[in-house]
């Protein structure tokens, strides 16, 4: 098979190959582009949350020197409505299928009602401030989930999965259960709050558009923009080589970027649009608010006989997005009677979109909090309760797992945090004036794999360029793909350059759902394997080569040399082979498509989250003291980048548990904290010692090529529940409404 013998880079804790470009400013982000003659665009948002625009007076704005265009619904280019196509390889990905500026109707505060383009951004901002817009307000606006609950509707399927499932007879089982926990848990609207703002730079050349947009999916954005503009898909190129934070918020194409492209076409000059931080909150997407009703029925020994998990989540009036809170509930515990249901609740906000571990993050808060309540009621250790309901086969299907080492995750994380010393009685442990508690929860996230393509080009100088239209959203894709390519080509790491972030490259799926490494990675491996095989055939078929007529199966490529497996001295440099044949390069393409293991096995990643908190009973302040977590996600391709992702996910969970909440004025329904000054996210002072344990056990069923499954999402699953459960252990106060604030705790403590 000519498999390289070394050095092998996959599995090494290597620093990021793109780090130098980032720290020196050489990394080119979408907003860094300044084409010649560019006009600067500024958006104007609706002052009302529901109603219609009745007056647009652009005279004062148009009189500002340097203004190129004032675009409103009265003169905007016509755009097509684009339906979302749930295909992460070849689909379309509008965040909402409601094209801006196509009519006077307003559905949420901050909705785009005008765009001003000028020679400078200062002129555009000043002109936008002089634009007079009057709107009629519809009194039926709502941004609160409970208020809008009567508007709820069912969505039969979301992302190809049934949103309502039923196994056995949960109602009858609950009625007969000796122990029942039935509670409601809520989570608020949360925002991605990425450092890099949303926007786009649109430049036309003839009928060809190049769009520089911060996106996690250049291919999906290209197809979406083309469909909205009504132009051939091949005429739209989307480029984004570096991303300043996405977390799912840049996984779907933004329609304000389409407007920028349409206006640029009409003006005949490039247009650059950068949203303000305040505009990102209504327009950049969010995690929906959720209301979850969970019922657990169990025997006295804690064995579950029934689970009901019903979820309501907010969406916009103009499109449907669903937070699939109950999907993980179907997979996690052995229980004969399970039902899950999901409902969408339209409110007057922008359309939500995926946010790190969509569905699983808020869903695990509800389910794992309910499990903790059950354990406390039964007097059982929370870990023991989960072990008694451990699913050795995939619930509902009876299929074997591709691999599952969750018991080891429980054991190792518990040992790391000192779980054996935990006192199960609330308020039993103190450190000075602080109440101390320990809590835990299970983490689960599905394994996704999607078709992908890659190209490998081995150059005559012995270096290689490997490419795919994927994205590096901070996960280390540049580095991981370089490691895979170097191993498969038998080259040194610095001899390989990986290219991504351009829709003209071989197609790749969206960089979402922790699927990039085990989707694009196998495609990269396939392309590189094909090049290596061609190289070996050239060498053994060349009478001038030291390997002439040598059996192919006894030839390997390693450290930039083609050499005999059992006699490394017999060989030559890769570059020598190509040059002797007069070749500038060898090039092959590789493709990956998921195999039949999806039908024969349950595919999940696993983890155990443990947290220790200290609560000031006088002020209600919660301080996270320690986190210890263990994860089973197959082979660890790079421990350094993997740990970075896991800790990052845990930080998201800390924010969910203790800080993050979008607030709206109850009268105007306008955002109250649309900015980093008011929307709180964890900072260094909020983050304690975090110990991350990675089992590093390859799963060759789920990933036959690499043994890896995916790491970007699971760190965020279960951590909010672990913190909430620790707070209960410390205080005896059960907070079921995130975030856990001092006010909520003091109400219970007093």
Q: How many CB atoms lie within 10 A of CB 541?
A: 14
Which whole number is the average pLDDT over 368-381?
Answer: 98
The backbone torsions φ and ψ at residue 693, rounded to the nearest 5 degrees and listed phi first, read -115, 125
Question: Do 414 and 428 belong together in one domain?
Answer: yes
Distance CA 116, CA 109 (A): 18
Q: Which CATH number is 742's domain given?
A: 3.30.365.10
Question: Do 257 and 383 belong together in one domain?
Answer: no
pLDDT in tens, 165-205: 999 999 999 999 999 999 999 999 999 999 999 999 999 99
Is 164 part of a structural domain of the chain?
Answer: no
Which whole number is the average pLDDT over 407-414?
Answer: 98
Is 403 part of a structural domain of the chain?
Answer: yes
Question: Do 527 and 676 belong together in one domain?
Answer: no
Distance CA 176, CA 148 (A): 34
Are the CB atoms for 321 and 287 separated by under 8 Å?
no
pLDDT at 521 over 90: yes
How confident is the model at residue 598, as a pLDDT? Answer: 83
713 is a catalytic site residue: yes
Which whole number is the average pLDDT over 370-375?
Answer: 98
pLDDT in tens, 549-570: 999 999 999 999 999 999 999 9
Which whole number is the average pLDDT over 210-239?
Answer: 98
Distance CA 412, CA 474 (A): 28
How confident is the model at residue 7, as a pLDDT? Answer: 53
Q: 581-586: which pairs have CB atoms within 8 A and are 24 or more residues apart? A: 581/538, 581/542, 583/460, 584/459, 584/460, 585/457, 585/458, 585/459, 585/460, 586/457, 586/458, 586/531, 586/534, 586/535, 586/538
Distance CA 71, CA 107 (A): 19
Which whole number is the average pLDDT over 588-605?
Answer: 94
CA angle centred on 153, ends 341 and 247, rounded to 5°: 70
Question: Do 548 and 632 belong together in one domain?
Answer: no
Question: Do 618 and 715 belong together in one domain?
Answer: yes
Q: Which of 237, 259, 283 marks a domain boundary?
A: 283
Domain of residue 515 covers 450-499+508-593
β-bridge partners, 635:
none
Is 416 part of a structural domain of the chain?
Answer: yes
| Mode of pairing for the β-strands spanning 271-274 and 165-167 | unpaired
- Which residue shows structure tokens 């443990």? 610
Q: Which ranges in 389-476 belong to alpha helices (H)? A: 406-417
Q: Residue 359: which residues within 8 A CB-CB, separation 6 or more?
A: 323, 324, 325, 326, 327, 328
Is 271 part of a structural domain of the chain?
Answer: yes
Question: Do 546 and 671 belong together in one domain?
Answer: no
| 3-state secondary structure (DSSP) of residue 93 | coil
Q: Helix-strand-coil percent breakdown of the chain, rounded to 5?
A: 30, 25, 45
pLDDT at 3 over 60: no
Q: Which ranges in 699-741 belong to alpha helices (H)? A: 719-731
Question: Do 542 and 574 belong together in one domain?
Answer: yes
Are the CB atoms for 101 and 72 separated by under 8 Å?
yes
Tell me which of 299, 552, 713, 743 is the catalytic residue.
713
* Domain count for the chain: 3
Mean per-residue pLDDT of the chain: 97
Question: Do 559 and 669 belong together in one domain?
Answer: no
How confident is the model at residue 1, as a pLDDT? Answer: 42
Q: Which two tokens stand for residue 226?
A: 């083309």
Question: Do 437 and 470 belong together in one domain?
Answer: no
Question: Do 400 and 470 belong together in one domain?
Answer: no
Question: Do 533 and 651 belong together in one domain?
Answer: no
Is the peptide bond preceding residue 739 cis, with omega within 30 degrees of 0? yes
Distance CA 360, CA 575 (A): 49
Question: Do 474 and 542 belong together in one domain?
Answer: yes
pLDDT in tens, 696-739: 999 999 999 999 999 999 999 999 999 999 999 999 999 999 99
Output the pTM of the full model.
0.97
pLDDT in tens, 58-105: 999 999 999 999 999 999 999 999 999 989 999 999 999 999 999 999
| 3-state secondary structure (DSSP) of residue 266 | helix
Quick one: pLDDT band at residue 477, thresholds 50, 70, 90?
very high
> What percent of the chain clears pLDDT 70, i.e. is strictly above it?
99
β-bridge partners, 714:
none
Which whole number is the average pLDDT over 404-410?
Answer: 98
How confident is the model at residue 728, as a pLDDT? Answer: 98
CA atoms 129, 130, 135, 139: torsion sign: positive
pLDDT in tens, 18-31: 999 999 999 999 99
How confident is the model at residue 2, as a pLDDT? Answer: 52
For residue 634, CA distances in Å to 247, 328, 329, 472, 699 come to 22, 19, 22, 21, 5
Are the CB atoms for 80 and 261 separated by under 8 Å?
no
Is 696 part of a structural domain of the chain?
Answer: yes
CA 111 to chain centre: 24
Which whole number is the average pLDDT over 587-595?
Answer: 96
């Amino acid at each position: 098979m000519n498999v390289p013998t070394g050095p092998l880079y996959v599995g090494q804790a290597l620093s990021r190959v793109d780090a130098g470009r980032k720290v020196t400013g050489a990394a080119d982000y979408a907003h860094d582009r300044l084409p010649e003659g560019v006009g600067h665009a500024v958006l104007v948002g609706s002052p009302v949350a529901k109603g219609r625009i009745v007056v647009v007076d652009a005279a004062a704005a148009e009189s500002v020197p340097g203004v190129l265009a004032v675009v409103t619904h009265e003169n905007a280019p016509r755009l097509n409505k684009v339906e979302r196509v749930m295909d992460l390889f070849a689909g379309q990905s509008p965040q909402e299928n409601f094209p801006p500026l196509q009519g006077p109707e307003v559905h949420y505060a901050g909705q785009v009602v005008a765009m001003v383009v000028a020679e400078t951004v200062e002129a555009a901002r000043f002109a936008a401030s002089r634009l007079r817009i009057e709107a009629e307000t519809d009194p039926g606006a709502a941004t609160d989930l409970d208020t809008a609950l009567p508007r709820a509707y069912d969505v039969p399927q979301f992302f190809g999965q049934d949103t309502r499932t039923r196994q056995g007879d949960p109602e009858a089982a609950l009625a007969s259960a000796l122990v029942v926990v039935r509670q409601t848990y809520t989570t608020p609207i949360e925002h991605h709050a990425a450092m890099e703002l949303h926007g786009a730079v649109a430049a036309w050349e003839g009928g060809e558009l190049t769009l520089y947009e911060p996106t996690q999916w250049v291919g999906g954005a290209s197809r979406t923009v083309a469909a909205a503009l009504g132009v051939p898909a091949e005429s739209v190129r989307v480029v984004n080589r570096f991303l300043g934070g996405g977390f799912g918020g840049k996984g779907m194409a933004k329609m304000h970027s389409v407007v920028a492209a349409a206006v640029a076409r009409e003006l005949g000059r490039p247009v650059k649009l950068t949203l303000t931080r305040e505009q990102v909150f209504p327009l950049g997407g969010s995690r929906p608010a959720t209301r979850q009703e969970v019922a657990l029925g169990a025997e006295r020994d804690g064995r579950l006989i029934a689970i009901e998990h019903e979820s309501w989540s907010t969406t916009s009036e103009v499109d449907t997005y669903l937070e699939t809170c109950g999907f993980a509930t179907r997979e996690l515990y052995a229980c004969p009677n399970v039902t899950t249901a999901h409902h969408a609740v339209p409110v007057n906000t922008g359309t939500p979109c995926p946010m790190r571990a969509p569905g699983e993050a808020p869903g695990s808060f509800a389910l794992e909090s309910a499990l903790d309540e059950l354990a406390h009621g039964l007097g059982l250790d929370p870990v023991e309760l989960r072990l008694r309901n451990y699913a050795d086969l995939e619930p509902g299907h009876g299929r074997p797992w591709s691999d599952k080492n969750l018991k080891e995750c429980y054991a190792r994380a518990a040992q790391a945090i000192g779980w054996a010393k935990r006192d199960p009685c609330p308020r039993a442990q103190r450190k000075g004036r602080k109440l101390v508690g320990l809590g835990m929860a299970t983490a689960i996230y599905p394994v996704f794999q999607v078709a992908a393509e890659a190209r490998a080009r081995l150059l005559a100088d012995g270096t290689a360029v490997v490419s795919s239209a994927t994205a590096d959203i901070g996960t280390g894709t540049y580095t991981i793909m370089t490691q895979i390519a170097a191993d498969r080509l038998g080259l040194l790491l610095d001899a390989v350059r990986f290219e991504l972030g351009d829709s003209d490259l071989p197609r790749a799926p969206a960089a979402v759902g922790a699927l990039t490494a085990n989707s694009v990675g196998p495609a990269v491996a396939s392309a590189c394997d094909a090049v290596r095989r061609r190289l070996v055939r050239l060498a053994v078929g060349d009478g001038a080569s030291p390997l002439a007529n040598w059996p192919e199966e006894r030839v390997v490529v390693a450290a930039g040399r083609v050499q005999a497996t059992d006699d490394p001295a017999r060989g030559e440099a890769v570059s020598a082979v190509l040059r002797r044949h007069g070749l500038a390069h060898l090039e092959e393409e590789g493709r990956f498509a998921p195999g039949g293991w999806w039908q024969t096995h349950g595919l999940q990643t696993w983890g155990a989250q443990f947290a220790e908190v200290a609560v000031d009973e006088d002020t209600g302040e919660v301080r996270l003291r320690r986190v210890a977590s263990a994860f089973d996600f197959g082979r660890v391709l790079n421990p350094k980048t993997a740990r970075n992702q896991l800790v990052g996910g845990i930080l998201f969970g800390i924010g969910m548990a203790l800080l993050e909440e979008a607030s709206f004025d109850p009268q105007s329904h306008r955002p109250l904290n649309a900015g980093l000054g008011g929307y709180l996210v964890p900072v260094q002072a909020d983050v304690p010692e975090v110990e991350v344990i990675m089992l590093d056990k390859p799963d060759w069923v789920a990933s036959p090529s690499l043994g890896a499954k995916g790491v970007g999402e699971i760190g965020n699953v279960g951590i909010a529940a672990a913190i909430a459960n620790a707070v209960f252990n410390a205080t005896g106060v059960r907070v079921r409404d995130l975030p856990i604030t001092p006010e909520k705790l003091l109400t219970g403590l007093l």
